[in-house]
Chain A
Amino acid sequence: MINGVPVQEHYRDASHQFASAKEGIWLFMATEILMFGGLFVGYLIFHMKYPQMFAEGAQFLDWRLGFVNTLVLIFSSLTMALGIYFCQINQPKKAVWALAITILCGAVFMVIKYFEYTHKFHMGIYPGRMLDLEMLNQHLSSIGKPAIASTNLGMYFGFYFCMSGLHGIHVILGMLMISWCLYRCMRGDFNPNYYTAVEGVGIFWHIIDLVWIFLFPLLYLVG
């Protein structure tokens, strides 16, 4: 321990350790951009190829739910940033509160996602070939709406479930990692010289927000 920082022996000093950790996180974030980016490029290409089918698919999404989820995630990003801030100014109690609210926001986001997903499953909407077009058309005729013209609607929902599902997995993992930070914060591990874990998890949480900022208009608004 040097000035409250548990410096590992293979580092020169605390700032060397912090800089290495940050560099690792940013490398990880570059791979995250590439992972989600591949899906975005695929979406754009197939959107250009089948604009009608994508428009038919997008009408099943309720933009109000996406909008609420956007607000929830932005708020959680703020509380995450505040969690780091309170660690930096040595107020661990406030940091614990900020992190707890962040986890709660993540849970709210996932509950809304759960209702969106189950509503789609209920109508026979599944990704790719699993989409039950007959069941969906039956449902549409029962509520007096025209049947689906595109036979490859499953492709749109393949993108929808993969993109929002991968994002949802990130939210769950983020919540678990914030819980770990919260536990360590309560234990008194962090101080203004050492809060690397909160900083790193914070960057991960913000990239979840960043991806959602693009997913919201892509899936819910442009269709």
Chain B
Amino acid sequence: MSDNHNNHHEEHHIMPLATYYKVAGALFLLTFLTVGFHALREYMGPFSALIAFSIAAVKAFLVMAWFMHLKYDKLSNKIIFGSGFIFLALLFVICIMDIYTRLNVNSVL
């Protein structure tokens, strides 16, 4: 495998097979963990949503970094993909500010 490394193009990075299995194993484990916490949702109240989405964020990171090979991708591609999330956060923040201020002024949406 190492002879395939860096043969012609630096960007053709080959990850070892074991890494794929480890990432998939972690994803399966985290899915079971999500469902496990779901079973305990009555004890956790408002935290259950936070836990579910935190686990989802970790899973998303695993998929992006290793399955999508973003960890070994060019910085420009990371920035391009990241910009999608930045503008999504902007949309969310502006919407929330709009709703919050309307509630303050009119007490209805």
Residues of B close to A31: CB separation below 8 A: 84
Residues of B close to A49: CB separation below 8 A: 109
Smallest CB–CB gap between B84 and chain A, Å?
Answer: 3
| Contact yes or no, A33 B84, CB < 8 A | yes
Instruction: Tell me the dominant secondary structure on chain A's binding face.
Output: helix
The verdict on A3 contacting chain B, using a C-beta distance below 8 Å, is yes
The verdict on A71 contacting chain B, using a C-beta distance below 8 Å, is yes
| Contact yes or no, B8 A88, CB < 8 A | no
Residues of B close to A33: CB separation below 8 A: 81, 84-85, 88
Given contacts A71-B28, A82-B20, contact A19 B80 (CB under 8 A): no
Cβ-defined partner of A192 (8 Å) among B7, B24, B48: B7
Smallest CB–CB gap between B12 and chain A, Å?
Answer: 7
Q: For residues 50 through 98 of chain A, which have their beta carbon under 8 Å from a beta carbon of chain B?
A: 63, 67, 70-71, 74-75, 77-78, 80-82, 85, 88-89
Cβ-defined partner of B84 (8 Å) among A14, A34, A192, A222: A34
| Contact yes or no, A23 B87, CB < 8 A | no
| Contact yes or no, A34 B87, CB < 8 A | yes
| Contact yes or no, A217 B7, CB < 8 A | no
| Contact yes or no, B81 A214, CB < 8 A | no
Residues of A close to B8: CB separation below 8 A: 3, 14-15, 193
The verdict on A26 contacting chain B, using a C-beta distance below 8 Å, is yes
| Contact yes or no, B11 A22, CB < 8 A | yes
A2 nearest in chain B by CB position? B8
Residues of A close to B80: CB separation below 8 A: 23, 26-27, 29-30
Q: Mark B53-92, 1 if CB is under 8 A from A, else 0.
A: 1011001100110111100011011001101110110011
| Contact yes or no, A214 B4, CB < 8 A | no
Number of interface residues of A (CB under 8 A): 52
Counting chain A CB atoms within 10 Å of each CB, which of B4, B9, B41, B52 scores highest? B9
Instruction: Tell me the dominant secondary structure on chain B's binding face.
Output: helix
Given contacts A67-B35, A203-B68, contact A18 B56 (CB under 8 A): no
| Contact yes or no, A38 B91, CB < 8 A | yes
Smallest CB–CB gap between A23 and chain B, Å?
Answer: 6
| Contact yes or no, A222 B81, CB < 8 A | no
| Contact yes or no, A19 B84, CB < 8 A | no
Counting chain B CB atoms within 10 Å of each CB, which of A18, A38, A209, A221 scores highest? A221
Top 10 closest pairs, chain A to chain B, by CB: A30-B84, A33-B84, A37-B88, A217-B52, A78-B24, A15-B9, A26-B77, A26-B80, A222-B49, A74-B27
Which B residues are closer than 8 A to A by beta carbons? 1, 4, 7-12, 14-15, 17, 20-21, 23-24, 27-28, 31, 34-35, 38, 41, 48-49, 52-53, 55-56, 59-60, 63-64, 66-69, 73-74, 76-77, 80-81, 83-85, 87-88, 91-92, 95-96, 99, 109
Q: A41-B92, A63-B35, A89-B14 are in contact. List 8 more A-B contacts (CB 8 A).
A: A22-B73, A41-B95, A77-B63, A77-B67, A78-B23, A206-B64, A209-B63, A213-B56
